[in-house]
Chains A and B, each alone.
Chain A
Amino acid sequence: MKILEIQELTKNFGGLCALHSVTLNVYENEILGLIGPNGAGKSTFFNLVNGFYTPNDGKIIFTGEEINDLKPHQRCRKGIGRTFQSPSNFGNLTVLENVRIGQHCCCFPKFFPSILNTAGWRKKEKLAEDRAMAILDSVGISSWVSAQAGSLPLGIQRRLQIAIGLSSEPKLILLDEVTSGMEVSEKVETMELIRSLSRVGISCVLIEHDMTVIKGVCDRIAVLNFGVKIAEGKPEEVVNDPEVVKAYLGEEDA
């Protein structure tokens, strides 16, 4: 079952062609890696799926529905989540508040009950808070609940990123270099976290530069170079594909 279908997606910026006729599918419960040299168009791809850029050509179909005309927040409501490299969270709010904000998709605050702090609202808040705590637990940062997000160490920040991405209860999450800057042990933990996501039914697309992470976690990999998809398939096949090796000029992350 395809959860995300990208058909002939093209994006130009003035004279520069960032993405050219890219066709890609993401299946339910799978973890798809998206790799390529810098400037290959990976971030552009994410921005297009999210709705920040409008494609010049091509269709984006999510759970069978064409979403080209939807704004970013509407796409989130449909079930697409995302992390950002930077800024990665709401620095002025606490960790818990960060996740609570993300629950907007499903726990939408009604104006007057929220201001008047009615009993009904307080009950909803409690439920939402419990859910938020559960998410923080699942990424392993519940001890940081009251810390200000702007002053977190990098590893915790990255996990908060993922927590925020999960708080809208997405069916598909776009993870943008979530292991960058992490130590090896943290990367291993994060890899296990990502695997657990697909086990609970959330599909993932991963942009990563660390090949160990990619090989360790992804079911399939797609490779972009200069805006064009040059390879797609199982990790072992793709990694040895001569086109891919050429694109990276022979360098491979250890």
Chain B
Amino acid sequence: MLFQQILNGLVAGSIYAMVALGLTLIFGIMRVPNFAHGTTYMIGAYFTYFIIERLEVNLFLGISLAFVLVAVLGFLIEKVVFKPVSNRSTMDAFIIALGLWVVMENVALYLWGPETRIISGGYGDKVIRFLTLTITVNRIIILVGSIVLIFAIYLFIKKTKYGKAMQAVAEDKIASALVGISPRRVLGFTFAIGSGLAAAAGGLVGSSFSIFPEMGGMPILKAFCAIVLGGMGSVSGAIFGSFILGLAESLGAAYITSSYKDAFAFFILITVLIIRPHGLLGKEEEERR
């Protein structure tokens, strides 16, 4: 039983991590939490669904295609919506992000209706019996799939030139510009990668769990909670925070109360924001005048 809860926690954590990675990178550069990011997760799920249904390809190809499509969408969103306010206060960008969130969610609602869907041919019911434990295959798929993707992106960020550029801009925009890295271009690229990753997460989740227009809402808030825990702008922090959050939620729901399960994340978030605004692992940003 405990193992089941831990596994559930890890699975949830890995989903949050995929959404959180994009969020933390975007935050690191824009200094604004892009709340519209959750909709890329949702759109990824829908795109995967339609690609698999219409083109009849397997799950992984479907997810990969959705990744690419949503990455392009993310890039366009940055250019069209966020660029005009890039020189203004962060509050403006925040309000725009909220507006975008509502627009995308309601467009999805309008286009695809409120009924939940699920990608057929998913591994929905299959289970594996391992020692004395019963594990559903879909959870394994999500966990493995997301860990692979997270690892891949992590390597990309740490090892490749583009990835390092993204990190550099997230850490210090001005210094990066001085050495010739254009923050604007990097931002567009970051949006693309982050959105694609969230889309893949959506696709993975959609293969076993339900797809509906509002599905991005909770994950984005939880992902934000995760990056606050782990330190905003930090890649490893985002991963760390996500898994901690997933586990805390799962164990809390099992052993304390389940009707307020979602509230755990928010309580944690509020507490951290109030007590240690720079996150548990974040560096203390003293204002040097």
Question: Interface on A for B, CB 8 Å cutoff?
Answer: 13-14, 43, 47, 52-53
Complex CA–CA separation, A47 to B287 (angstroms): 10
- Shortest distance in angstroms between B229's beta carbon and chain A's nearest beta carbon? 21
B284: interface (CB < 8 Å): yes
Question: CA–CA, A47 to B289, complex, Å?
Answer: 9
> Which residue in A14, A43, A47, A52 is a CB contact (below 8 Å) of B284?
A14
> Please, which residues of chain A bring their CB within 8 A of the CB of B286?
13, 53
- Residues of chain A lying within 8 A (CB to CB) of residue B129: none
Question: Tally of A-B residue pairs with Cβ under 8 A?
Answer: 8
Interface residues contributed by chain B, number (CB under 8 Å): 6
Chain A CB count within 10 A is highest, among B283, B286, B287, for: B286
Nearest CB of chain B from residue A178's CB, rounded to whole Å: 15
| B288, CB-defined interface residue at 8 Å | yes
**Complex CA–CA separation, A180 to B284 (angstroms):** 31
Q: CA separation between A53 and B287, bound complex, in Å?
A: 9
5 further interface pairs, Cβ-Cβ under 8 Å (given A13-B288, A43-B289, A53-B286): A13-B286, A14-B283, A14-B284, A47-B289, A52-B287
Closest 7 CB pairs of A and B: A13-B286, A43-B289, A47-B289, A14-B283, A53-B286, A14-B284, A13-B288
Smallest CB-CB separation from B289: which chain A residue? A43
Nearest neighbor of A84 in chain B, beta-carbon distance: B289
A53-B283 Cα distance, complex, nearest whole Å: 16
Question: A111 to nearest B CB, angstroms?
Answer: 27
6 A-B interface contacts by CB (under 8 A)? A13-B286, A13-B288, A14-B284, A43-B289, A47-B289, A52-B287
Report the minimal beta-carbon distance from B281 to chain A, rounded to whole angstroms.
14
Q: How far is the CB of B84 from chain A (nearest CB, A)?
A: 24
Complex Cα gap A47–B286 (Å)? 12
Chain B residues with CB under 8 Å of chain A are 283-284, 286-289
Q: In the docked arrangement, what's the CA distance between A20 and B283, Å?
A: 22
**Which chain A residues lie closer than 8 Å to B283 at the CB level?**
14
Q: Which residues of B contact A47 (CB under 8 A)?
A: 289
Chain B proximity of A41: nearest CB distance (Å) = 11
Min distance, Cβ A62 to any Cβ of chain B, angstroms: 21
Residues of chain B within 8 A of A13, CB atoms compared: 286, 288
A104, chain B: closest CB distance, angstroms: 22
Closest Cβ of chain B to A209, distance in Å, is: 16
Min C-beta distance of A84 to chain B, whole Å: 8
Return B29 CB to nearest CB of chain A, in Å: 22
**Which residue on chain A has the smallest CB distance to residue B283?**
A14
Contacts of A53 in B (CB 8 A): 286
Which residues of B sit under 8 angstroms from A43, Cβ to Cβ?
A: 289
Provide the bound-state CA to CA distance between A53 and B284, in Å.
Answer: 13
How close is A217's CB to chain B, nearest CB, in angstroms?
24
CA distance A13 to B287 in the complex (A): 10
- In the bound complex, CA of A43 to CA of B288 (Å): 9
What is the distance, in angstroms, from A83's C-beta to the closest C-beta of chain B?
A: 13
Find the A residue at minimum CB distance from B288: A13
**Could you say which residues of chain A place their CB within 8 Å of the CB of B287?**
52
Q: B77 to nearest A CB, angstroms? A: 33
Closest CB-CB distance, A180 to chain B, in whole Å?
14
Q: How far is the CB of A251 from chain B (nearest CB, A)?
A: 24
CB contacts (< 8 Å) of A52 on chain B: these are 287
CB distance from A39 to the nearest CB of B (A): 10
Min Cβ gap B68→A in Å is: 41
Bound: A103/B259 CA distance, A: 53
When C-beta atoms are compared, the residue in chain B nearest to A13 turns out to be B286
B residues less than 8 Å from A14 (CB atoms) = 283-284
Identify the closest chain B residue to A46 (Cβ): B289
User: In the assembled complex, how far is the CB of residue B288 from the closest CB belonging to chain A, in whole angstroms?
Assistant: 7
Please report the C-alpha to C-alpha distance between residue A13 and residue B289 in the assembled complex, in whole angstroms: 13
The CA-CA distance from A13 to B286 in the complex, in Å, is 7
Distance of B234 from chain A, by nearest CB (Å) = 16
CB proximity of B278 to chain A, nearest CB, Å: 12
Nearest chain B CB to A82's CB is how many angstroms away? 12
Across the interface, name the chain A residue whose C-beta is closest to B286.
Answer: A13
Complex Cα distance A53/B289, Å?
11
Q: In the complex, A52 Cα to B288 Cα: how many Å?
A: 11
In the bound assembly, the distance between CA atoms of A47 and B288 in angstroms comes to: 10
Contacts of B288 in A (CB 8 A): 13
Give the complex CA separation of A52 and B286 in angstroms. Answer: 10
Complex CA gap A232/B172 in Å reads: 38
For B284, what are the chain A residues with a Cβ–Cβ distance below 8 Å?
Answer: 14
Q: A115 to chain B: closest CB distance in Å?
A: 28
